[in-house]
A and B are shown apart, each in its own frame.
Chain A
Amino acid sequence: MTAMTETRLSGSDLTQRVAQVRAGFLDTLDERILDLEGLKAMVIKGQKRGEALQAIANQAHRIRGVAGTLGFAALGALAGQVDDAFSAFCDAESRSHQQLRAFWKDGGPLLESMLDEMERLMDQ
């Protein structure tokens, strides 16, 4: 829980604050990428696959909610696609091994595209 906001920002403060939030988000990308790479490996190896898929959906959902506002429209759109696809698969009542393979055929490259975009932003 953060403290209660106490002051109104001036114009210049606000610009500075926007830049700070944006930079702060970029700083989190390496950790998010590592997290997602680890989860991807779990899916491929079949380790706690359900939890890993759900965690990927959750991470994509969080990125989706902020990337667009911070000016990273392409990342926001890709995160939205990953969120929708992985959430729908996780919410399905039954998930057989065959269904997972079929899902991963499209879901894997989609996740990879999002990771590529995150790496591109980090390199900027």
Chain B
Amino acid sequence: MDNDTDMRILAVDDEPVFLDILEQHLVTLGFTGVVYCESAEDALATLDLGQQEFDCFLVDIKMPGMDGIELCRRIRRRPACQSTPILMLTAMSESNYIDAAFLAGASDYITKPIKKVELSARLRSARELGRERSRVAALTSTLKGQGASQPALQFSDAVRLHDLEGAVDYVALKNYALTLGNLRMLNWQAVGFHVSGASQFLAATSPAEYLEMMQDVGSVLFDILKLGRVMISHAGSGNFVALIGRERGYDRDETQATANALLEPFNDYYRTVCPVRIGVIAGEARRNALLSFQPADRSIEQALSSALIRAANVGLTAG
């Protein structure tokens, strides 16, 4: 895939007229490797044939029979598609559909009626995301011993933790916030976490062991936060960020203390491979302001900054 327009796309929508419009836009933009399906079942059958791989999926959410959210989930279950960008297409604006789509593995969201400029921009982002994910997917595969060799893992890599419930890609989490916009993001608060000792752990061990350790930390954080709505992402550089429902309270010190207590048994093992203790530093909860001209994902970045500032203050930055 050398050019933007070399992307192989599978587009799924039950409305033939919409597929006609989409084809018109895609052809105008120069995309020629597109397969169009009129149902989720048809799309899965196409994937089952295995005659070609796809670089991007465009999936309508509301379809009779299997809907787009279930299709998204099933696409994600396929090893070859775990890192392929999935852009959801829908006229739906209700946040429960958006939440469900992102939790099922969607990468981004395009609102109907589609506009060519927006479609072009989202596909360009998807291409970049796909490239990065392909690289990171190779790293993640080492977790399960699938990799023939262990590729270089950069500390800054935001690796998707596939086995972690409630986990979404960091880029998808930011896309989710941008999709909701400032008003609906008021229902969420963002919290950042910094994992102290993470960079030393990576330096002292292997990428596979590092990813397992981050998976452990992510699971601990999810267990603490899961009493309400939660989405969590590994943001790279030893950081996690979570969106938690605003209706629930968040106590920074209690969350941090609980996380570190739950990590203690893991540290018994970690110490056998790396002398540095793994710990969690929780940041303050950050919320979007109603009347703000800042992008809706601003609170996510602010939450990460808060965790890093706290870590720096206690001299525990990871790298």
Contacts and interface: CB of A to CB of B under 8 A. Distances in A.
Contacts of A103: none
Contact of B27 (A7, A25, A68, A87): A7
Interface string A1-35: 11011111100001001100100110010000000
Nearest to B13: A65
Given A62-B14, A80-B91, A2 B19 contact: yes
Interface stretch (B31-39, B181-189, B218-226, B297-305): B31-39
Interface residues of A, number: 29
B132 interface: no
Interface string A103-114: 000000000000
Nearest to B64: A58
A69 B23 contact: no
A111 B35 CA distance: 34
A13 B60 CA distance: 27
Interface string B8-26: 0000011101111101101
Interface string B92-118: 101000000000000000001110000
A83 B113 CA distance: 14
Interface string B176-203: 0000000000000000000000000000
A11 B181 CA distance: 36
B18 A65 contact: yes
B33 A64 contact: no
B46 A1 contact: yes
B42 interface: yes
A61 B92 CA distance: 8
A70 interface: yes
A69 B21 contact: yes
B114 A69 contact: yes
Contacts of A25: 17
Interface of B is mostly: mixed
Contacts of A118: none
Interface string B45-67: 11000000000000010101000
A76 B45 CA distance: 32
Interface of B: 13-15, 17-21, 23-24, 26-28, 30-38, 42, 45-46, 60, 62, 64, 89-92, 94, 112-114
Give the 3 A-B residue pairs with the shortest CB-CB distance, closest first.
A68-B113, A69-B113, A65-B112
Interface of A: 1-2, 4-9, 14, 17-18, 21, 24-25, 28, 58, 61-62, 64-70, 76, 80, 83, 87
Given A7-B32, A17-B24, A62-B18, 20 more contacts: A1-B35, A5-B26, A5-B27, A5-B32, A5-B33, A6-B32, A8-B28, A8-B30, A8-B32, A9-B24, A28-B17, A61-B62, A62-B14, A62-B17, A65-B91, A66-B15, A66-B18, A69-B21, A69-B112, A69-B113
9 contacts: A1-B45, A2-B23, A2-B35, A5-B26, A5-B27, A8-B30, A28-B17, A58-B64, A64-B91
